């Protein structure tokens, strides 16, 4: 539930953007239900009499303590400079009835089943353990973000295909356009440090290396875009190839909808402690809309299947 102060700032931002862009544009407050039933508050900007526009979510701006006037100017500038009108015209005429024109644009992602049960009633999905495979279409991708649209039950009825056929199309696209990436957690953390070179000193680098000496080797599995990378769990041979490289079963920790952590399975492992750790991280470190699951999974490399550890 948005507080009164946030609602007031959003209203003022909406008014300021309208003033800056003038009567040629329509600016409206937009509440959107995102993953895990999380409500996002923003403003949608479109050229007057056009159906397609852009939505700017405002929480990130205000969390960085950016004032309303600056936020409004940034949104107005982004709208004027970054949106190619031919794309907007094309998106407006986008034909969702013709599957042939859409096949290469279909994607899938993994979400928590229970947390999204209400929305899933309107969307084609495949139940997978305590998760759900859901589908969407990428209309455009550029440095400012990705324009997508969800796939609903009525789309599937138009296309006359099953959820399994849709999944096959989506997975082929994902494997081709966003191949799996697996790196050690240590290297991922060190790369993060390099990106913030002046903010983190050599002592931090030393501590990460020392911690990695005694800890079991953790690997991060995601895709090339690092967006919805947990879906790589379901790529055709991603987990199989990793398990073969380790020569054993693999424990999977759902870090978020964007990546999972992998480690070699050992007989002495305490899965209860692992589940408690995953739950604590989900509650305190992961944004609510990015949480995938509180579960721990085990990939059996001989059976080539994932199971939820009870």
Residues 251-300: tens digit of each pLDDT: 999 999 999 999 999 988 999 999 999 999 999 999 999 999 999 999 99
Q: Give yes or no for a contact between 301 and 243, defined as CB atoms under 8 angstroms apart.
A: yes
Report the distance separating Cα 189 and Cα 205, nearest Å: 9
Domains by residue range for the chain, with CATH: 4-91 (3.30.160), 96-177 (no CATH), 180-308 (no CATH)
What region does 304 belong to: left with phi over 0, alpha with psi -120 to 50, or beta? Answer: left
pLDDT confidence of 165, banded at 50, 70, 90? very high
Structure tokens at 49: 């009499």
pLDDT in tens, 193-240: 445 554 555 555 455 455 455 556 899 999 998 999 999 999 999 999
pLDDT in tens, 22-49: 988 999 888 888 888 888 888 888 888 7
Total-model pTM: 0.80
> Could you tell me which residue, 83 or 165, shows the higher pLDDT?
165
Average pLDDT on 54-63 reads 83
| Cα distances (angstroms) measured from residue 31 to each of 38, 168, 172 | 10, 32, 33
Average pLDDT on 75-100 reads 67
Least confident of 13-22, 168-177, 186-195, 232-241: 186-195
- Residues constituting the chain: 310
Instruction: Please tell me the predicted confidence (pLDDT) of residue 204.
Output: 52
Is the pLDDT confidence value at 304 over 90?
A: yes
């Amino acid at each position: 539930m948005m507080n009164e102060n946030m609602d007031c700032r959003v209203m003022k931002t909406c008014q300021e953007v309208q003033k800056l862009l003038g009567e040629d544009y329509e600016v409206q407050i937009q509440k959107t239900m995102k993953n895990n039933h999380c409500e996002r508050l923003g403003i949608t900007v479109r050229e007057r009499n056009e159906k397609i526009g852009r939505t700017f979510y405002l929480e990130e701006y205000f969390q960085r303590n950016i004032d309303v006037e600056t936020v409004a100017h940034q949104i107005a500038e982004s709208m004027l400079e970054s949106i190619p009108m031919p794309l907007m015209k094309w998106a407006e005429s986008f034909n969702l009835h013709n599957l042939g024109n859409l096949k290469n644009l279909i994607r899938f992602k993994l979400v928590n089943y229970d947390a999204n049960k209400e929305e899933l009633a309107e969307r084609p999905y495949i139940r997978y353990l305590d998760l759900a495979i859901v589908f969407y279409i990428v209309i455009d991708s550029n440095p400012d973000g990705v324009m997508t649209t969800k796939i609903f039950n009525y789309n599937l009825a138009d296309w006359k295909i099953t959820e399994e056929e849709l999944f096959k199309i989506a997975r082929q696209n994902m494997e081709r356009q966003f191949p799996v990436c697996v790196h050690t957690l240590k290297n991922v953390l060190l790369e993060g440090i390099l990106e913030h070179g002046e903010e983190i000193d050599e002592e931090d680098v030393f501590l990460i290396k020392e911690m990695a000496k005694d800890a079991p080797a953790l690997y991060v599995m995601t895709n090339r875009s690092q967006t919805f990378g947990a879906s790589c769990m379901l790529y055709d041979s991603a987990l199989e190839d990793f398990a073969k490289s380790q020569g054993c079963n693999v424990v999977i920790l759902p870090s978020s909808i964007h990546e999972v952590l992998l480690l070699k399975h050992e007989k002495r492992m305490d899965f209860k402690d692992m589940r408690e750790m995953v739950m604590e991280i989900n509650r305190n470190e992961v944004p609510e809309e990015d949480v995938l699951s509180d579960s721990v999974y085990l990939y059996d490399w001989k059976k080539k299947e994932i199971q939820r550890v009870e």
